[in-house]
Amino acid sequence: MTTAGPVLGEERNSDKFFDSLDHVIDFHGHIIGMGLSPDHRYLYVNSRAWPQDSVISDPLHPPPIAEEIDLHVVDLKTMTEAQGPLRGHRAHTPSNDFFFIFLDVSRDFVASGAEDHHGYVWDRHYGICLAKLQHSDVVNSVAFSPVEQELLLTASDDGAIKVWRSPRTVRLLQAEKPRPQKLSFSWVTNRRR
């Protein structure tokens, strides 16, 4: 890997650009997706946990993974888990297999797909699940609009990308629709003299 150096066009080897490892974050599980908060302070990670006392002796043969998908929140300033993992979405693949489940984070919300054919939306600050969005197969990717956080896209193995709006946004859009104007006509008769 090469990266651009401090002078435009200058290249450096990655071993010179990153001089040392800063921190390791271990969730004791298989990481299947991650995303940063818009302010880049919080890291959101989807993982499927390994059994509590498992030890990995061979990276090519990890222990079985849990059915539950945990959504962890890490404060990158303190390098600590900001709150307990959020739960509510599940995996249905065998414990030795998985799908990548990509998530997205907006100012107030976190969204993730799941193997149970749903996308999920949580309140980022309170950890409450706000919505469960239906597909007919695994939802493996979600994305918030960068300009309207209450507009979410979900992509699924069912071949569909669905566009979702919050009830509040729908009400606002309906209120903004132009209403037909009342037209008044005055009929003028042409009188001949």
**Using CA atoms, how far apart are residues 161 and 139, in angstroms rounded to an integer?**
9
Residues 91-103: pLDDT tens digits? Answer: 555 555 566 888 9
Mean pLDDT of 97-121: 89
**Using CA atoms, how far apart are residues 111 and 176, in angstroms rounded to an integer?**
27
101, 140 Cβ separation under 8 angstroms: yes
Q: Does domain 50-176 have CATH number 3.40.50.300?
A: no
Domain ranges of the chain: 50-176
**Using CA atoms, how far apart are residues 50 and 59, in angstroms rounded to an integer?**
13
* Confidence (pTM): 0.72
